[in-house]
């Protein structure tokens, strides 16, 4: 998978509409439930995926008094996208050039997220949370797919219908270790898997950059 950027988000515990007791909090890519700081896009230091190319930039858009409430995330994107059930190569925007994700960031899982309008900044809908589909599709405690393979299957399914329209991307969600304590820490049994990319960036084809 391809390093794609960083963000800080205020994470919300599972809303009652998501009937999935295993979900403790929503760490989806979408900002529909757990979101970034107000007016973060007005800084114009983000990349075309709506993330930031450095941790410093992701932190800069959060008012200093509010920073303890915003957890730090990093994202990797699979080199392909699903459109109407078909898998096609992803063109990485030219300004997506993040500082490499530190090795101590911990993978929380994988999301399948839509983008239907090129004029809209960033991604749009994470059906597991936005459409409450975690109520019927297996997810982990972060409202994410446990594996890249499961997220790819979900992205293909969502791209065919039954969720918000648009192309569907497979994205790995990682978190900085300073917040990975107590009940939020992934189980030891999943540690190795969650530190792995989980998807070979050379399959089904090398991504090209725009």
The pLDDT score that the predictor gives to residue 187 is: 40
**Average pLDDT of the chain?**
86
How much is the average pLDDT of 64-83?
96
Bridge partners, 109 (sequence order)? 173
Residues 93-122: what's their mean pLDDT? Answer: 92
Which pLDDT score, from 0 to 100, does residue 175 have? 97
Does residue 10 have a pLDDT over 90? yes
48 class by beta-carbon count within 10 Å (0-12 exposed, 13-18 middle, 19+ buried): middle
Q: What distances in angstroms separate CA 203 from CA 42, 119, 173, 209, one per listed residue? A: 36, 28, 19, 16
Report how many domains make up the chain: 1
| Cβ contacts of 124 within 8 Å, gap of 6 or more | 30, 113, 114, 115, 116, 117, 164, 166
In angstroms, the CA 25 to CA 55 distance is 23
Mean predicted confidence (pLDDT) in 6-10: 95
Is the pLDDT at 158 greater than 70? The verdict is yes
The domain of 177 spans: 2-209
Asked if the model's pLDDT at residue 19 lies above 90, the reply is: yes
Residue 179: what pLDDT?
A: 61
- Burial level of 188, CB count in 10 A (0-12/13-18/19+)? exposed
Beta carbons of 179 and 71 less than 8 angstroms apart: yes
Residue length of the chain: 210
Q: For residue 55, which of 169, 175, 186 has the smallest C-alpha distance?
A: 175
The model carries a pTM of: 0.85
pLDDT at 128 over 60: yes
The answer for residues whose C-beta is within 8 angstroms of residue 46's C-beta and 6 or more apart is: 5, 40, 52, 57, 121, 122
The two tokens of residue 109 are 């899982």
pLDDT of residue 121: 77
Q: Is 53 helix (H, G, I), strand (E, B) or coil?
A: coil
Residues 37-59 pLDDT 10s = 887 667 778 999 999 999 999 99
């Amino acid at each position: 998978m391809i390093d794609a950027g960083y963000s800080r988000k205020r994470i919300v515990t599972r809303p009652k509409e998501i009937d999935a007791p295993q979900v403790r909090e929503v760490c989806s890519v979408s900002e529909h439930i757990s979101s970034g700081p107000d007016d973060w896009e007005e800084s114009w230091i983000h990349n075309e995926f709506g993330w930031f190319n450095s941790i410093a930039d992701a932190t800069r858009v959060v008012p200093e008094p509010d920073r303890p409430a915003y957890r730090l995330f990093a994202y990797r994107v699979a080199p392909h996208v699903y459109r109407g059930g078909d898998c096609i190569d992803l063109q990485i925007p030219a300004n997506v050039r993040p500082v490499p994700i530190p090795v101590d960031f911990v993978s929380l899982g994988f999301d399948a997220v839509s983008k239907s309008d090129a004029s809209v900044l960033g991604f749009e809908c994470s059906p597991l949370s936005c459409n409450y589909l975690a109520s019927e599709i297996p997810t982990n405690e972060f409202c994410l797919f446990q594996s890249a393979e499961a997220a790819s299957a979900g992205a293909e399914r969502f791209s065919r219908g039954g969720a918000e329209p648009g192309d569907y991307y497979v994205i790995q969600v990682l978190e900085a270790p300073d917040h990975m304590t107590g009940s939020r820490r992934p189980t030891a049994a999943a540690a190795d898997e969650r530190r792995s990319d989980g998807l070979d960036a050379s399959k089904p084809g090398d991504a090209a950059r725009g």
